[in-house]
Structure 1
Amino acid sequence: MASKRDSSVCTGSASESLSSLSANDFRTYNRMSEQMDAFHHHFRLTWDQLWGACAAPGNRPGGLSARQMILMGLQFCSQLDFHHSIEEQHIFPVLAKKMPEFRKGLDLLRQHEQIHAGLEKLEAYLESCRSGEQDLRREEVKRLMDGFGEVLWAHLDEEVQTLGAENMRKHWSLSEMRRLPM
Structure 2
Amino acid sequence: MAGKKNDSPAGFGDELPKLSPSEFRTYNRMAEQMDAFHNHFRLAWNQLLDACDATGKRGLSARQMIMTGLQFCSQLDFHHSIEEQHIFPVLARKMPEFRKELELLSQHKQIHAGLEKLEAYLEKCRSGEEDMRREEVKRLMEAFGEVLWTHLDQEVKTLGADNMRKYWSEKEMRALPM
TM-score (norm 2): 0.91
Aligned position for 1:28: 26
Structure 2: gaps spanning 5 or more residues: 1-6
Q: Does 1:140 align with 2:136?
A: yes
Query: Could you tell me which of 25, 35, 38 is aligned with 1:37?
Result: 35
Q: Does 1:59 align with 2:56?
A: yes
Instruction: State the distance in 2 between where 1:119 and 1:38 align.
Output: 21
Q: Does 1:169 align with 2:165?
A: yes
Instruction: State the distance in 1 between where 2:133 and 2:16 align.
Output: 53
Q: Which amino acid aligns with 1:181?
A: P
Aligned position for 2:3: none
Q: Percent identity?
A: 75
- Secondary structure of residue in 2 paired with 1:123: helix
Q: Does 1:16 align with 2:13?
A: no
CA contact (8 A) 1:54 1:61 kept: no
TM-score (norm 1): 0.89
Instruction: State the distance in 1 between where 2:112 and 2:105 align.
Output: 10
Instruction: State the distance in 2 between where 1:61 and 1:54 align.
Output: 11
CA contact (8 A) 1:66 1:136 kept: yes
Aligned-CA RMSD value: 1.3
Q: Larger Cα Rg: Structure 1 or Structure 2?
A: 2
CA contact (8 A) 1:129 1:135 kept: yes
Q: Which amino acid aligns with 2:25?
A: R
| Structure with more relative contact order (C-alpha pairs < 8 Å, separation 6 or more) | 1
Instruction: State the distance in 1 between where 2:57 and 2:120 align.
Output: 23
Structure 1: gaps spanning 5 or more residues: 1-10
